[in-house]
Every structure is written in structure tokens, then in C-alpha cells.
């Protein structure tokens, strides 16, 4: 009796450990969720301050272990400081991010911080905010109005630079301050003026913000020795004319009669003499460190605003020499850039030694001359000394040649700097990867063209590559970049004379065609779709790509470039919904469909957490034995607000948002769990069919996940069948082939779903390890219509069986269809004639009843 009780205790302990292991394994399947981080810059990417901050942020986030998806946006506030720009940005961000859960927003400078704080509740998921490069007064004002944000204050403090200037030139009495009349420029000018006044040194501050640029250059060319020039910020003159920041600095420095001290370190090599300068990259680093603390669980309100030193003392050697400033007057901890190579300083000991040796030799020669008549040995030594002097001379000549080479190198460096300036101007208006005009170019060109259109039509084509995310995830980003570059080259070949191709970013392109109506736009679009029928070959890998294109016509669909882009984008999205590889003209009714899509996507993001999904199972009847031998798992969604949502609608949205990866894994786990339960009830002959999305199979660890799930539930791989579509086979044959082959070698069945509905190919059927052919319902429905349709269905059955496949007919609803399938020896059927899809409780009752009646 005690032995039996002991066995029962062991069995209970073992069962408990198995349950704990199952819970751990299932939870382990849910990997760390990706966190979405949005970076909003106040200015455009061509401004070096913004570029440096962006580089600092991305560099710090990239080196962390956080799984972050980083999105970068530019408000271009310097060029478009208007309410219209804010309205356009609001519409654009609402469209792009309303359905996306953001975990964090990082902003740079004032405009982006204001915009994010005012609108994050409506379009940015109420995400916490980390700012960078905002002055102290602005932060104190916002802290009284908003919560859930922190950041790094841009401490604009000219005090140390003023001290350095006074040590170099104690005669300074007046500080000429360069800044513009933008919001940030006025704020900066005010702050610097107050700081200088607080120093109580009797210095007079002369602002230069109310001068036209030409007058400003004249002014600085007349400065005296008692004047100091301090460059703070300058993007436009008093007339409102936009001036490139670095070009303005170079021109002012070139005309100035005194050194130009600078507030930012990127002023070096752009005319700045130097000073204690702010570093945009350091600000970006510090802001990203605060962001990582929030991503790891800290609350933004619990993190104090940082007043971190983000400056460095640095001077341009060329400017130091230009104004004859002794190096010993610079701070001891200052760094010099552009300092030329000095042979004497580098080989100081060697040169001193050579000179000393030279004087010793002179002295020795004098002694030799005194005793030349006494001994012949002195003559030989004099001869040797002469040879040494000759060698020294040759070394000096070699040194002279080396100095000349260095001078040529300096000239080459100056030339390269000039070339770099032209390159940066080009990059500000062009995409780095493809060389195409970028978004900024599009807005400048389109606004100019539309202003001068005189009522003429214009067409905008929004072009988006189909399935690019799949290709990028599967083949890698380097492969994706090569594909984008090749696609842009082919798109350029189809352009009309009056049309221009732009790259917005990622796989999105814009074609803007002047004086072009609907007919011309449709012809251009048709040419593009036709030209992409040929394969692309990237690194010896061939693949087909296609585009979905949306068309908007000016002025029918918008009077501004922003409205045209929005309309064409909605039409492009409609083209993707309609099956991809096509174009659609924008229509106002599409706004309703777009809104419905956004609502659907919003609820889909929370459906998994709210347990709104359920699996139904449809039995598969073996027509030879008249027994149920398998089940197909079908996903159902019941939302409290939307009710039952058709899979036709939500599966496509799940794939577009990549939620299908997590959802598909959940379906596999639930289906295998139920199959394991049925096997334990004695129904060991039962198999399970599960539909697989293309995006799932493109994941690198897809095969391993399948095998781990089967191993966990102790299911024979031969009991699982994965259903794939014809479209997946045709479009991604090279990628899919090896993965399906490996799964088949493990015993897992592969079913080709909806056969005959797409563009089937016997060559693909023969090459791929297909075990089951599923005849689409449309062929079964047509069995009773006429002889021709009967013949087609009969030949499909015969072909599948001749290739050694099991043939399953879907959607069987009438007895006449069943008799036809039996007559031509179809293996299995599923449909309403036998059973609708049922929840697992009802399926289990049905199967148990069949077992009781003899279906074992």
C-alpha cells in the first residue's frame, strides 16, 4: 500500500513539473517585443547641427541592447516656419503614426518639442518625450504646462568664450553678435546678451539681426581692434532671405577684420576662429542615454532635466595664423585643428643634435688648421669631416624636398575642402543611396511649378514596391539597398520629358509630371508596370518585383504638394488592397476606406492581449474510408466594438503591420495543443492543417520554431500539414524552396491551398515537396454547371494523384458534388455538406460521437 502511495506522489510531482515547463516554454516563445522610437527634428537633415544630434542619438541607441525600430522625421522649420507647415505635418503624422504604438519620442530643438507636446495625445500614442538642444527658459515654461517629458538643456553660455577672447585681446570693448530673426535666433540672441551683461565687464553688445546680408558683410569688414565678433545662429537675414548656415559663417569670417568666435563646433572649417563651442553630437548622445533609461522602465517625470556640459574648446590653426595670435594665448586644454606638420617640432631633438654637431665640427676644423703642418693624421680627419658635411647637406636638401611635398599636400587638402562643400550642397537635395532628388527637392520643385502653373494640369504618382519588407527581412538590408538602387534606375528609364523621379525614403518613390493630365499619367504608369515584368538579378539571385501606384491630379485632387502626396498615398494603399502590381486614381470616397482600415488596425494591435482570437476547426473527410482523418485550423476574431471580423479583412492588415508573425505563431501553438489533446483521447490518426503567411516563412528561425513546437507537444511531424498559397510559390520560389524541403525531410506535410485560383505552374509543382493539393471552391461550385467545368475539375484530380499528391476538395456543399468527387477518386473533402468550421469543444464532441459509432 505504501509503495502505491509513493508512486502516486511521484506521478503528481512529475505532472506539476510538466505543467510548469509548459508554461515556461509557451511564455518563452513570446520574444522581447520591438520598441518603436520616433525622432522628430525641428530642422532639415542638411543642417549640420541637426545631423550631428541625429548621429549622436542613433549611435547611442544602436550600441544598446534594446530592440528598437527607429523612425526619423524632419519638420524643416527653418525653411517653412508657418502654421500651414504645422497643419501639413499634423495630417502627415496622423496618417503615418496614428495606428502605430510609439514607446518614445525624441525631439531636437524647440519647434519639434512644442509640436510633439501639443499633439502626442492625438497622433503619437501619448508617448513620453526626451528633448535635446532646448534652452533653459523654454524648458521652464513647458514644465509648468506639460508632464511626462525630460531631456538635455542646451546651455548657451558665452561666458567662457568671452573670457578667452579677453585674454587674447584685453582691449575688447564691444561685442558684435550675429543671429537672425527666427524664433530660436531671437531667443539665442537674448540669452547671450543677458549672459554678457551679467559678467559685469562693461562690454557693449551690438546685435546684427536687423541687417541685410550684404550690409552685414560690409559692417564686419570695418571692425576695429577693440571689437569682438561672436557668431551664434544665422539662417536668414533681415529681409527673410534663406541663407545656408555654413556659407553665411564662411562669408562673414572672410570679410571680418577680427577673429569670428563661434557658438557651435561645426563652425570649424567654416570660418570659425574657435571658442568654447557646443557639440550637437554630445547633446544627441546625452539625450539617447536618457531615452534608454525610459525604454528600460523608468518614468520620464522621475528623470530630472539634464544640464550637462556639452561643449569643447577648439580653434582653427588657419584662423589663428591669419590674425597673428600667439599659440600661448590659447587655453592650455584647447585643441587645434588644421595645424600643418612641423618638421622642427616633430624632430626637435634631432635638429638640435645636428646643429650642435655642426658647431662641434667647426671648432674641430679650426683646431685641425692650427696643427695641419704637424701631423698628416689631421689631414685625413679633415677629409672625413668634409664627407660628413656633405652628408649633412644632402640631408638638409632632402628635408627641403619633404617640406615642399607637405606644401603640395596642403594645397590638395584645400582643394578637397572645396569639393566637399559642393558635395554637401548636393547631398542636401539628393538621396544618398540612389542619387535621385529627395523629399526636400520635391517640395521646392513642386511649389515653384504649382505657383507658375497658370491653371495647367499636373500629375503626381506615389510608387511603393510590393513585398519589399519581406525581401528586406529575408535577404538583408544590403540586398535591399541594391534592389532599391536597381529599381530606381529602371524607373528612370520610363520617365517622360516633363517628369521627375524623387525618392521619399525606404521603398517609396514619387514621380511629378508637369503639364500632364489623367491620360498621360495612366500611360506613364502603364509603362512602369510593364517594364518591371522582367526579373531583377541581385548578387546572382533572380526575383520578380512589382509596384502599387496611386495617382493624384492637380488641381482636381489637391492644390498643394502636401495634399497631392496625401491623396496619391491613399490611392496607392487602395492599389495594394486590390491585389498589388497595379495603379489606382484617387477618389474622395477612398478616405472612408482608409479610415475604416485605420480603425481595424487600431483594434488589431490590442486583440491578442484582450484574448479576442479563437480557432475554429473544419473536419476533412476521407472519401475512401468515409472517416474524418484531419482538421483545418481557421482563425476567427470577435471584437467587442466591431463584432465578428472576416479573415479576408484582418489577415491582410496583420500582414501589412507584421502582427501576422506573432499571430501565426499563436495559431500554431493553439492548433498543436488541441491536436496533442485529441491524440491523448485515442484519436492518434488525426492530422492538423495550418495556414502559413508568407511573412512567417520568410523569418530566419521559422523552421526551428515549427520543430520546437512539435517537440514540446510531443507530436509526430507527419501529423502536421502547413498550407501555403500559389502566390507565395511563384513570387518567392528561390527563398521558399530550401525551407519547405527541410520541413518535408522532417516529415511535415506541405499543402498547396486554393489550387487553380492563381497562376499555377506544373514546373513549380514538380520541384517543390508538395504532399497535398487543395482544389479551390470555385471549381467545386462549377461541377454542376456544365461539361467543360466538370472536365477541368476531373483533370486537376487526375493530375494531383498522378504526381503522388493527396487531393482535397474545398467548399463541398451539395450531394451532387460529393458523388462527382467519389466518381473521379478525389481523396478527401471538406465543406458545409459534412460540417461547418466549429470551435474545439464542438469538434471534440463530433469526433467522439464518430468514434462511438465506429469511426476509429
| Domain residue limits at 5 | 1-30
Mean of all residue pLDDT scores within the chain: 86
Distances (CA, A) of 85 to 110, 141, 560, 562, 856: 15, 24, 11, 9, 71
| Residue tagged 577648439 (cell numbers) | 314
d(CA 25, CA 299): 31
Grid cell in block for residue 513: 509630371
Burial class (CB in 10 A: 0-12, 13-18, 19+), 23: exposed
Grid cell in block for residue 802: 498522378
Q: What is the CATH number of the domain that holds 55?
A: 3.40.50.2300
Grid cell in block for residue 314: 577648439
**Residue 2: inside a domain, yes or no?**
yes
Are residues 541 and 623 part of one domain?
no
**Residue 117: inside a domain, yes or no?**
yes
Cβ neighbours around 406 below 10 Å, total: 14
d(CA 246, CA 233): 10
Are residues 839 and 766 part of one domain?
yes
> Do β-strands 627-639 and 508-514 pair in parallel, antiparallel, or remain unpaired?
unpaired
Distances (CA, A) of 57 to 153, 308, 504: 15, 15, 22
d(CA 148, CA 130): 9
| Residue tagged 550637462 (cell numbers) | 308
Query: Angle between the 787-802 and 815-823 helix axes, to the nearest 10 degrees?
Result: 50
**732: confidence class by pLDDT, cuts 50, 70, 90:** low
**785: confidence class by pLDDT, cuts 50, 70, 90:** low
Are residues 819 and 702 part of one domain?
yes
**Residue 224: inside a domain, yes or no?**
no
Question: Has residue 537 got a pLDDT over 90?
Answer: no
Instruction: Give per-residue burial for 210-249: e unless 16+ CB within 10 Å, then b.
Output: ebebeebbebbeebeeebbbbbbbbbbbeeeeeebbbebb
d(CA 754, CA 777): 8
Q: Which of 523, 666, 669 is nearest to 608 (CA)?
A: 666
pLDDT tens figures, 253-289:
999 999 999 988 888 888 899 998 888 888 999 999 9
CB distance 129 to 107 below 8 Å: yes
**Which region, left, alpha or beta, applies to residue 825 given φ > 0 means left and ψ of -120 to 50 means alpha?**
left
pLDDT tens figures, 127-156:
999 999 887 777 888 888 899 999 998 888
d(CA 750, CA 690): 10
Question: Has residue 662 got a pLDDT over 90?
Answer: yes
Question: Has residue 646 got a pLDDT over 50?
Answer: yes
DSSP per position, 361-393 = HHHHHHHHHHTTTT-THHHHHHHHHHHHHHHHH
Q: Looking at 451-493, which runs of residues are DSSP E strands?
A: 458-465
Q: Which of 735, 656, 731, 647 is nearest to 691 (CA)?
A: 647
Grid cell in block for residue 477: 538590408
Grid cell in block for residue 481: 539597398
- Out of 561, 588, 615, pick the residue that ends a domain: 588
CB distance 764 to 794 below 8 Å: no
Q: What is the CATH number of the domain that holds 570?
A: 3.30.70.270
User: Nearest 5°: CA angle at 616, between 807 and 100?
Assistant: 110
d(CA 131, CA 258): 36
Bridge partner residues of 829 (DSSP): 621, 809
Are residues 782 and 639 part of one domain?
yes
Grid cell in block for residue 821: 468527387
In SS3 terms, 121-180 reads as HHHCCCCCEEEEEECHHHHHHHHCCCCCEEEEECCCCCHHHHHHHHHHCCCCCEEEEECC
d(CA 39, CA 58): 9
Are residues 755 and 632 part of one domain?
yes
**Residue 595: inside a domain, yes or no?**
no
d(CA 712, CA 553): 57
d(CA 417, CA 202): 40
Cα 182 → chain centroid? 31
d(CA 412, CA 417): 9
- Out of 553, 588, 623, pick the residue that ends a domain: 588
- Report H helices in 173-279: 183-198, 213-220, 245-255
Are residues 686 and 544 part of one domain?
no
> Do β-strands 772-775 and 749-755 pair in parallel, antiparallel, or remain unpaired?
parallel
Question: Has residue 735 got a pLDDT over 80?
Answer: no
Higher per-residue confidence, 245 vs 787: 245
pLDDT tens figures, 211-224:
999 999 999 999 99
Are residues 779 and 762 part of one domain?
yes
Name the strand (E) or helix (H) holding 466: none
- Out of 133, 153, 173, pick the residue that ends a domain: 153
d(CA 597, CA 618): 29
Question: Has residue 674 got a pLDDT over 70?
Answer: yes
d(CA 526, CA 503): 20
The number of distinct structural domains making up the chain is: 5
pLDDT of residue 771: 93
d(CA 601, CA 649): 10
pLDDT of residue 185: 85
**Residue 173: inside a domain, yes or no?**
no
Are residues 9 and 62 part of one domain?
no
pLDDT tens figures, 832-852:
999 999 999 999 999 988 877
Are residues 640 and 547 part of one domain?
no
pTM here? Answer: 0.47
Question: Has residue 496 got a pLDDT over 70?
Answer: yes
pLDDT of residue 28: 41
**Residue 631: inside a domain, yes or no?**
yes
d(CA 235, CA 244): 6
DSSP per position, 318-334 = HHHHHTT--GGGS-TT-
Q: Which of 554, 561, 553, 591 is nearest to 573 (CA)?
A: 591
Question: Has residue 173 got a pLDDT over 90?
Answer: yes
CB distance 719 to 675 below 8 Å: yes
Are residues 638 and 761 part of one domain?
yes
pLDDT tens figures, 681-706:
999 999 999 999 888 888 889 999 99
**Residue 282: inside a domain, yes or no?**
no
d(CA 632, CA 468): 30
pLDDT tens figures, 334-364:
888 888 876 666 666 777 788 888 888 888 7
Q: Which of 275, 252, 271, 215 is nearest to 421 (CA)?
A: 271
Reduced to 3 DSSP states, what percent helix, strand and coil does the chain have, rounded to the nearest 5? 50, 20, 30
CB distance 774 to 754 below 8 Å: yes
**Residue 525: inside a domain, yes or no?**
yes
Are residues 43 and 26 part of one domain?
no
Q: What is the CATH number of the domain that holds 670?
A: 3.20.20.450
Query: What 3-state DSSP class applies to 504?
Result: strand
- Across 17-26, 272-281, 409-418, 476-485, least confident range: 17-26
d(CA 59, CA 64): 9
Distances (CA, A) of 673 to 24, 669, 701, 712: 15, 6, 21, 9
pLDDT tens figures, 580-629:
899 999 988 888 777 788 888 899 999 999 999 999 999 999 999 999 99
Grid cell in block for residue 585: 486614381
Q: In what order do the strands lie in the sheet with 499-505?
A: 499-505, 508-514, 458-465, 547-554, 582-585
**461: confidence class by pLDDT, cuts 50, 70, 90:** very high
Higher per-residue confidence, 705 vs 428: 705
Name the strand (E) or helix (H) holding 32: none
Are residues 723 and 694 part of one domain?
yes
Amino acid at each position: 500500500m505504501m509503495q502505491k502511495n509513493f508512486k502516486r506522489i511521484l506521478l503528481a510531482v512529475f505532472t506539476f513539473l510538466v505543467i510548469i515547463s509548459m508554461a515556461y516554454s509557451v511564455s518563452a516563445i513570446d520574444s522581447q517585443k520591438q520598441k518603436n522610437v520616433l525622432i522628430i527634428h525641428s530642422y532639415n537633415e542638411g543642417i549640420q547641427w541637426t545631423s550631428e544630434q541625429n548621429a549622436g542619438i542613433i549611435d547611442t541607441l544602436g550600441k544598446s541592447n534594446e530592440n528598437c525600430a527607429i523612425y526619423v522625421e524632419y519638420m524643416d522649420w527653418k525653411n517653412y516656419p508657418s502654421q500651414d507647415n504645422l497643419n501639413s505635418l499634423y495630417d502627415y503624422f496622423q496618417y503615418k503614426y496614428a495606428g502605430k504604438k510609439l514607446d518614445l519620442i525624441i525631439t531636437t530643438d524647440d519647434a519639434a518639442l512644442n509640436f510633439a507636446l501639443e499633439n502626442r495625445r492625438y497622433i503619437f500614442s501619448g508617448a513620453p518625450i526626451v528633448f535635446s538642444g532646448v534652452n533653459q527658459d523654454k524648458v521652464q515654461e513647458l514644465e509648468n504646462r506639460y508632464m511626462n517629458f525630460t531631456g538635455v538643456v542646451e546651455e548657451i553660455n558665452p561666458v567662457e568664450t568671452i573670457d578667452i577672447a579677453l585674454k587674447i585681446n584685453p582691449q575688447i570693448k564691444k561685442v558684435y553678435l550675429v543671429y537672425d530673426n527666427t524664433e530660436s535666433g531671437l531667443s539665442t540672441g537674448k540669452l547671450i546678451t543677458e549672459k554678457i551683461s551679467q559678467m559685469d565687464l562693461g562690454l557693449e553688445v551690438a546685435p546684427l539681426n536687423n541687417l541685410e546680408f550684404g550690409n552685414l558683410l560690409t559692417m564686419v569688414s570695418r571692425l576695429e581692434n577693440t571689437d569682438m565678433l561672436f557668431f551664434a545662429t544665422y539662417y536668414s537675414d533681415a529681409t527673410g532671405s534663406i541663407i545656408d548656415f555654413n556659407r553665411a559663417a564662411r562669408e562673414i569670417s572672410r570679410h571680418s577684420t577680427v577673429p569670428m568666435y563661434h557658438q557651435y563646433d561645426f563652425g570649424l572649417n567654416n570660418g570659425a576662429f574657435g571658442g568654447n563651442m557646443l557639440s550637437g553630437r554630445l547633446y544627441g548622445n546625452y539625450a539617447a542615454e536618457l531615452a534608454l533609461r525610459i525604454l528600460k522602465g523608468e518614468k520620464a517625470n522621475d528623470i530630472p532635466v539634464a544640464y550637462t556640459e556639452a561643449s569643447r574648446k577648439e580653434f582653427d590653426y588657419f584662423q589663428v595664423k591669419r590674425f597673428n595670435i600667439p599659440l600661448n594665448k590659447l587655453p592650455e586644454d584647447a585643441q587645434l585643428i588644421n595645424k600643418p606638420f612641423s618638421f622642427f617640432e616633430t624632430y626637435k631633438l634631432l635638429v638640435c643634435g645636428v646643429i650642435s654637431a655642426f658647431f662641434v665640427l667647426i671648432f674641430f676644423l679650426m683646431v685641425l688648421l692650427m696643427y695641419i703642418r704637424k701631423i698628416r693624421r689631421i689631414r685625413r680627419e679633415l677629409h672625413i669631416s668634409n664627407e660628413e658635411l656633405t652628408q649633412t647637406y644632402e640631408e638638409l636638401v632632402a628635408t627641403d624636398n619633404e617640406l615642399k611635398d607637405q606644401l603640395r599636400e596642403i594645397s590638395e587638402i584645400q582643394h578637397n575642402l572645396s569639393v566637399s562643400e559642393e558635395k554637401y550642397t548636393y547631398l542636401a537635395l539628393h538621396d544618398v543611396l540612389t542619387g535621385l532628388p529627395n523629399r526636400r527637392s520635391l517640395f521646392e520643385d513642386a511649389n515653384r511649378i504649382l505657383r507658375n502653373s497658370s491653371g495647367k494640369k499636373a500629375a503626381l504618382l506615389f510608387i511603393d514596391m510590393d513585398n519589399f519588407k519581406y525581401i528586406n527581412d529575408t535577404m538583408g538590408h544590403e540586398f535591399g539597398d541594391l534592389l532599391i538602387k536597381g529599381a530606381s534606375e529602371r524607373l528612370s528609364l520610363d520617365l517622360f520629358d516633363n517628369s521627375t523621379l524623387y525618392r521619399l525614403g525606404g521603398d517609396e518613390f514619387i514621380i511629378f509630371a508637369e503639364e500632364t493630365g489623367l491620360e498621360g499619367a495612366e500611360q506613364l504608369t502603364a509603362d512602369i508596370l510593364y517594364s518591371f515584368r522582367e526579373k531583377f538579378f541581385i548578387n546572382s539571385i533572380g526575383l520578380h518585383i512589382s509596384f502599387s501606384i496611386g495617382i493624384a491630379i492637380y488641381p482636381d485632387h489637391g492644390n498643394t504638394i502636401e495634399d497631392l502626396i496625401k491623396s496619391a498615398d491613399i490611392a496607392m494603399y487602395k492599389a495594394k488592397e486590390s491585389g498589388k502590381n497595379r495603379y489606382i486614381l484617387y477618389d474622395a470616397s477612398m478616405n472612408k476606406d482608409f479610415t475604416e482600415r485605420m480603425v481595424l488596425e487600431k483594434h488589431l494591435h490590442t486583440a491578442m492581449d484582450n484574448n479576442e482570437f479563437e480557432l475554429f476547426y473544419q473536419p476533412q473527410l476521407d472519401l475512401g474510408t468515409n472517416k474524418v482523418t484531419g482538421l483545418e485550423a481557421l482563425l476567427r476574431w470577435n471584437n467587442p466594438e466591431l463584432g465578428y471580423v472576416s479573415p479576408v479583412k484582418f489577415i491582410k492588415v496583420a500582414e501589412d503591420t507584421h502582427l501576422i508573425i506573432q499571430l501565426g505563431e499563436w495559431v500554431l501553438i493553439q492548433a498543436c495543443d488541441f491536436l496533442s489533446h485529441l491524440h491523448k483521447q485515442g484519436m492518434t490518426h488525426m492530422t492538423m492543417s495550418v495556414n502559413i503567411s508568407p511573412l512567417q516563412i520568410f523569418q530566419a528561425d521559422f523552421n526551428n520554431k515549427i520543430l520546437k513546437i512539435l517537440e514540446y507537444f510531443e507530436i509526430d511531424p507527419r501529423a502536421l500539414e502547413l498550407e501555403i498559397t500559389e502566390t507565395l510559390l511563384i513570387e518567392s520560389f528561390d527563398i521558399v524552396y530550401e525551407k519547405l524541403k527541410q520541413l518535408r525531410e522532417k516529415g511535415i506535410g506541405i499543402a498547396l491551398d486554393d489550387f487553380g485560383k492563381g497562376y499555377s505552374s506544373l514546373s513549380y509543382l514538380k520541384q517543390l515537396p508538395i504532399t497535398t493539393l487543395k482544389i479551390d471552391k470555385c471549381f467545386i461550385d462549377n461541377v454542376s454547371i456544365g461539361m467543360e467545368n466538370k472536365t477541368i475539375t476531373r483533370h486537376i484530380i487526375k493530375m494531383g494523384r498522378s504526381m503522388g499528391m493527396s487531393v482535397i476538395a474545398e467548399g463541398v456543399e451539395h450531394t451532387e458534388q460529393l458523388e462527382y468527387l467519389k466518381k473521379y477518386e478525389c481523396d478527401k473533402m471538406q465543406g458545409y455538406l459534412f460540417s461547418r468550421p466549429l470551435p474545439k469543444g464542438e469538434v471534440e464532441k463530433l469526433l467522439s460521437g464518430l468514434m462511438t459509432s465506429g469511426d476509429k
